[in-house]
């Protein structure tokens, strides 16, 4: 470790500390900590006893996970700093002078301590936002991996989010599990098959068993936050996630590219909901799209019988009705009183299954491996 490098590192760390101290002082003192932030501080401070850095907060994969979006984690990228420290330590181990090694080690430890301190300080200033539980039903088809890739990397931008990916399959598809691990959004990969009796229907109630499995998981594992059914064939503006996470009961907003009207939306007059605009009403009380509403987790828990019916076209309506009592006046309107479109039902065009591979012609080529990915 060169002295100049050491000085540079020390300078960066001191600047960060001074900045954060001033930032802390500029915020009115918070008199009542939430229990969670106290726990956070305790958890973090005990880890400072470890000699090597453990970056608990940014690496947690529990539903209440912090992710890097929360200022100032972003500003002081914890992971990068730690990785850097590790890398430099490795280099210094190959160096000949033991004293330099020691210095480096101390500096690394100091860096880790500084990061931990900064984290505990900031987590008490900014308690994490309510968690979001995203329920995504999916099934094996040519577009599956493509759609999950797009959705997954969208969700990756959102803090404190847990992704429930539920396949209509006998067992989880390995390629899907691998993709979820690679995208690295905190997730649970579950399966839920459509009951036998519906499988021969011409119009199948797709995604119902999956979504009900998701609701079951939430009832068993979540205690606060908001749930949202995010199908894999939509396009999502990030703003909608940060709006929906403060839903108290049920919130709604427009969804673009639905029916011949081009949009499905609550009709809003003077800031209150007065009906629904959707190309197909079909006698529904709530003629909305699956991507157009979110539900508070505690509100769901207070309705123990709420679930989605196996009734094509009436899944949303049936589920929202099962949350009764729920009046139209209680619906919280998002997307600036429903004047913006933050979700689009883009859908991928249906693709035919891939043709069989001519194995006499293409054996011992990459195509054999590629074929494993295709449906």
Ligand X SMILES: *[C@@H]1O[C@H](CO)[C@@H](O)[C@H](O)[C@H]1NC(C)=O
Write out the binding residues for Mn(2+). Answer: 233
For residue 374, report the phi and psi dihedrals to the nearest 5 degrees.
-80, 155
Alpha-carbon distance 200 to 30, whole Å?
59
Binding mask 314-343 for ligand X (x = CB under 6 A): ----------------------xx------
Which residue, 271 or 282, is less far from ligand X as judged by CB? 271
Nearest approach in angstroms of CB 8 to ligand X is 46
Which CB sits closer to ligand X, 201 or 272?
272
Burial of 340 (0-12, 13-18, 19+ CB in 10 A): middle
Rounded distance between C-alpha atoms, residue 335 and residue 240, angstroms: 7
Contact flag: residue 149 with ligand X (CB under 6 A)? no
Name the 3-class secondary structure at 245: coil
Which residue is at the shortest CB distance from ligand X? 271
Angle, in degrees to the nearest 10, between helices 35-47 and 98-125: 180
Q: How far apart are CA 104 and CA 98, in angstroms?
A: 10
Bind-site residues: 233
Minimum CB distance to ligand X smaller for 93 or for 339: 339
Catalytic residue chosen out of the listed positions 167, 315, 316, 332: 316
In whole angstroms, the minimum distance from the beta carbon of 246 to ligand X comes to 12
In the complex with ligand X, the residue whose CB is nearer, 104 or 268, is 268
240-299 binders of ligand X (CB under 6 A):
270-271
Q: How far is the CB of 337 from ligand X (least distance, A)?
A: 4
Kindly give the pairing relationship between strand 272-277 and strand 132-138.
unpaired
Per the annotation, the verdict on 147 as an active-site residue is: no
Minimum distance, C-beta of residue 159 to ligand X, in the bound complex (Å):
22
# of chain residues touching ligand X (CB under 6 A): 4
Specify which residues 332 forms β-bridges with: 251
Neighbouring residues of 234: CB distance < 8 A, sequence distance ≥ 6: 151, 255, 291, 343, 344, 345, 346
Residues belonging to the active site:
316
Q: Which residues bind ligand X (CB under 6 A)?
A: 270-271, 336-337
């Amino acid at each position: 470790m060169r002295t100049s490098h050491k000085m540079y590192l020390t300078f960066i760390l001191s600047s960060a500390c001074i900045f954060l101290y001033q930032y802390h002082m500029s915020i009115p003192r918070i008199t009542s900590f939430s229990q969670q932030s106290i726990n956070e501080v305790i958890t973090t401070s005990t880890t400072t006893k470890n000699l090597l850095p453990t970056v608990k907060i940014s690496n947690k994969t529990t539903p209440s996970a912090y992710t890097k979006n929360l200022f100032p984690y972003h500003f002081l990228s914890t992971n990068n700093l730690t990785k850097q420290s590790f890398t430099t330590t490795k280099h210094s181990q190959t160096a000949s002078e033991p004293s330099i090694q020691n210095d480096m080690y101390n500096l690394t430890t100091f860096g880790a301590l500084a990061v931990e301190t900064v984290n505990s300080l900031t987590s008490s200033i900014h308690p994490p936002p309510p968690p979001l539980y995203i329920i995504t039903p999916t099934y094996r088809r040519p577009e599956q991996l493509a759609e999950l890739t797009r959705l997954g990397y969208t969700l990756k931008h959102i803090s404190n989010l847990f992704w429930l990916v539920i396949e209509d399959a006998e067992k989880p598809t390995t390629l899907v599990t691998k993709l979820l691990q690679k995208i690295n959004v905190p997730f649970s990969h579950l399966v839920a098959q459509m009951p036998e009796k519906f499988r021969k229907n011409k119009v199948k109630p797709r995604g119902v068993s999956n979504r009900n499995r998701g609701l079951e998981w939430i009832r068993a594992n979540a205690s606060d936050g908001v749930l949202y059914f995010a199908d894999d064939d939509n396009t999502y503006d990030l703003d909608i996630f940060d709006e929906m996470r403060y839903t108290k009961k049920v919130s709604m907003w427009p969804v673009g590219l639905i029916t011949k009207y081009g949009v499905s939306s609550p009709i809003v007059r003077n800031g209150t909901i007065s009906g629904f605009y959707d190309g197909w009403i079909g006698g529904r009380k709530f003629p909305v799209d699956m991507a157009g509403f979110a539900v508070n987790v505690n509100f769901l828990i207070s309705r123990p019988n709420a679930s989605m019916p196996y009734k094509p076209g009436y899944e949303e309506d049936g589920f929202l009705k099962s949350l009764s009592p729920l009046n139209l006046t209680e619906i919280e309107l998002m997307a600036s009183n429903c004047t913006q479109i933050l979700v689009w039902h883009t859908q991928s065009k249906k693709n035919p299954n891939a043709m069989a591979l001519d194995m006499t012609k293409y054996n011992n080529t990459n195509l054999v491996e590629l074929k494993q990915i295709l449906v």
